[in-house]
Copies of this chain bind each other. A is one copy, B any other.
Amino acid sequence: MTTARHTRQLAAVLEVVGDADDHPTAEDVYTRVRCRLPRVSLGTVYRNLQKLVAQQRLRVVQLPHRAARYDSMLQPHDHFLCERCGTLTDWVREDRPQLDSSALDQAGYLVHAHSLTLYGVCPDCRAAAPHRGVGRDRRRHR
């Protein structure tokens, strides 16, 4: 039987993501964990993030063309990604319409989970440049 061990590295990874309010990437987590445990390796960070996600103690948000982001908010929610600055925002819908998948259910599909992400421009970026530049100059952050 597999006995999960409690290591400093695992604890640090969990705590770093828990304390973060910015949906850090694996690299971000690595950097922050390093402040405490200067000898951790990126591989270990990845392994522990993976483990914590599997244990449902953390969530991953996979994004097209970007590194995965980690999230300690466990309550069901979705995300908004600002295409200009790359900031990822939690979006908790109180009216979460239960996502009527009955058509799929009836067709014999078994739905375990889903992911919904919105893309657009955040308030800060709109304020900074309301008329989005014609030239393509995205991909600035991370």
B80 touches A109 (CB 8 A): yes
Counting CB contacts under 8 A, is A31 at the interface?
no
Closest to A97 in B: B98
Complex contacts, A103 vs chain B, CB 8 Å = 91, 93
Q: Distance in Å from the Cβ of A66 to the closest Cβ of chain B?
A: 10
Counting CB contacts under 8 A, is A57 at the interface?
no
A100 touches B95 (CB 8 A): yes
Counting CB contacts under 8 A, is A113 at the interface?
yes
B126 touches A121 (CB 8 A): no
Q: Distance in Å from the Cβ of A133 to the closest Cβ of chain B?
A: 14
- The number of times this chain is found in the oligomer is 2
Interface of A is mostly: mixed
With contacts A114-B116, A116-B114 taken as known, whether A123 is within 8 angstroms of B109 at the C-beta atoms is: yes
Counting CB contacts under 8 A, is A74 at the interface?
no
Query: Which of A98, A109, A113 is the most central at the interface, judged by chain B CB atoms within 10 Å of its CB?
Result: A109
B112 touches A119 (CB 8 A): yes
Complex contacts, A123 vs chain B, CB 8 Å = 107-109
Closest to A92 in B: B103
